Structure 1
Amino acid sequence: MQTAAYTDDQIKTIIQGPGDVEWRYEMRRECQEIIPGLLLGPFVASKSLDTLRNHHITHIVCIRDAKEAFSVRPRFPEHFTYLTLDVEDNEEQNLIRLFPGAKAFIDSAISQGGQVLVHCNGGISLSPAFVVMFVMQHFQINWEDALHLVQNRRYCISPNGGFLTQLKEYEAIYKASVAVAAYPRSNMAVSRRKREDDEEDEAELDRYDDRKRQVMSSDAHVPPPAPMYDPDAMQIC
């Protein structure tokens, strides 16, 4: 899915979100729309077929700890397209490695006009971390703004400390990929040609040094010429 261009004012408005939402405790058991086409919530929201249909859900990212697989699982595979990720909800779990697959799934669904629900068991730490990564890269904003964007729509989220560290790390990763993609291809071609020329020059210098060493080595084995005998030379008795 292509990232649209937004002005600074538009980004600020998007991060702030709707200002007329009064958060109630029971809303943590519901799912909320984070951006058009992407919703975030707990597992309990994914258990209600009526709820999913009311939100026009077409795709579901089910994120769970392997220990929860018996209960946290796809409930309606005949109605929705699922992506299931077994992820431990602890500070040592590597989310960055798993995120590209989730992002590709979400991008594909939204680009086809679908509605995606991302959920874990409680919708507090694990699934919100994935959604924060997604909106961070989608809007090309920093991790703190992305976190606020999601929190302003689902107030109860609280990724653990390890996940927050990875959000900071992912900001640098996605920005580097954006910079590489934006680098003019012509400059890349010039840089590649220059690198190839430099490599050829270095190779030629190496060949020259090899030839020079071979000549010096062969000269070292040639005996010096014998002195010539001059019969007319003066002999000292």
Structure 2
Amino acid sequence: MHVAQQPIQNGNLAPGGGASMAPLSTSPSHHPTLPWSNGIPSPPRILVPPPTLINDPANRGGRPGSRQPLNYGAPANGTSLSSSQLLANSGILPTTLQDWRYESRREAQQILPHLYLGPVSAAKDLAYLRRENITLLIAVRNNITARHRLLNAYNEIAKDPELKARVRFESVDVSGNQELIASFPIASKLVDDHLYHTAPPGFIRRKPNGLPEQPPNPGKTLIYCESGNERSAAVAAAYIMQHINCTAVQAIQVIQGRRFCVCFDDSMKYLLTGYEPIWMARRDVEMQQMAAAAAAAASQSLNAIFGSRTPQESGATGKKSKRGIEEAYDDEEMSGGDFSMPTELDAARFEKREGIAPFSDSQASAMSLDDVMDG
């Protein structure tokens, strides 16, 4: 059977080549429901606003040329502190951005009254260590670097018998930046233990408002890496988050205000942001344990005063424990209730979640389908 070919011009059938057939359309028959791209899925970027200066004469003491405190922005959650609390009560030093020079990147900067951040060259500067009274060096280095005994400033310190007797050397060795999140608590404990190692027995490290209490003779620590801008800066930011109870963005701004050359790439920001809920959970557990210990001590003192009477007799009421799901099912069984109710209540969360189709038919395609159905 021979089929006559129809001439085609510009993508459409030529006139007279089949008048009953509709012209071919070049418009797509579908379009995306939501915008999309061919890129690899990635989390949203974490934007850290640059530290700005507060033009407030009260904060500057009314003296011309004095350094102005930093504005660390609004707190991201209820546990963070405001900028005024950070500046007034936690010992954060004012910004040095106005005095920053390119050569300052080769020096160490004082981030907190007891914490310094800088490159390895600053850790080998014996005159600087003696002048600032730094007695603990923490090197943040790669495992390969540690295996070849690089970034070991203690060899330089050993040349001075006085500094050798006073300065202690520690290191945080990781195979990659992702392992830093497991080293943050270790480094923070080293800094805190050295900060309070000369404190008298029974010294309370935290004020009632949760802010740190400075000991009379604090031990000073220098955290360093090759450049003092990457790994060591991340360790310092993690310590600041825990020490003054702030967010990752605020900690980065604190460091940028003192050492302007630090470099926090996206992966390091994600790492610090992921560590934030971890230390917050640990802090909440510690606070709960402290509250339980205080309640137990108060109960013992009451028993010593009123004798070994029961809580009902002494007027004390204990905290009621939470009900478990087993107790709820036991109540249903005892009362002869319907077991399907918890399931129905849980299923209500998933109502009206049909989803969205990635593509939908265009208007022209829908009209052509209607014509076919009508024909």
- If the length of structure 2 is used for normalisation, what is the TM-score? 0.46
Greater Cα offset, 48-57 or 30-39: 48-57
Residue 139 (1) aligns with residue 244 (2):
yes
Match of 1:72 in 2: 151
Cα deviation, residue 128, structure 1: 0.2
AA of the residue aligned to 1:11: L
Distance 1:88 1:136, change over 3 A: same
Alignment of 1:1-237 (within 5 A): 8-11=83-86, 17-18=94-95, 21-69=98-146, 70-75=149-154, 76=157, 78-79=164-165, 80-88=167-175, 90=177, 93-112=178-197, 113-183=218-288, 185=292, 190-191=320-321, 198=327
Deviates more, 1:160-169 or 1:79-88: 79-88
Q: 1:205-226: CA deviations, max 9, x gaps?
A: 9xxxxxxxxxxxxxxxxxxxxx
Q: Distance in 2 between matches of 1:35 and 1:161?
A: 25
Bigger Cα displacement from structure 2, 53-62 vs 18-27: 18-27
Question: How many angstroms apart in 2 are the aligned matches of 1:61 and 1:37?
Answer: 13
Q: Structure 1 residues 52, 6: CA separation in 2 closer, same or farther (over 3 Å shift)?
A: same
- Output the CA distance in 2 between the equivalents of 1:20 and 1:65: 30
Query: Residue type of the partner of 1:64?
Result: R
- Describe the SS at the equivalent of 2:137: strand
> Given the superposition, is the C-alpha separation of residues 160 and 6 from structure 1 closer, same or farther in structure 2, using an over 3 Å criterion?
closer
Give the structure, 1 or 2, with the largest relative contact order (CA under 8 Å, sep 6 or more): 1
Quote the offset at 1:83 in angstroms.
1.2
Relative to 1, partners in 2 of residues 1:71 and 1:180: Cα closer, same or farther, differing over 3 Å?
A: closer
Secondary structure of the 1:119 match is strand
CA distance in 2, matches of 1:56, 1:131: 19
Q: Percent identity?
A: 29
Residue 191 (structure 1) shift = 2.4
What number of residue pairs does the alignment pair up?
Answer: 196
Q: Residue 159 of structure 1: CA displacement? A: 2.4
CA distance in 1, matches of 2:247, 2:82: 15
Distance 1:133 1:188, change over 3 A: farther
1:73 & 1:131 partners in 2: Cα distance? Answer: 19
Please report how far the alpha carbon of residue 32 of structure 1 lies from its aligned counterpart in structure 2 after TM superposition: 0.6
What one-letter code is carried by the residue in structure 2 that aligns with 1:108?
Answer: D
| Offset, 1:16 | 8.0
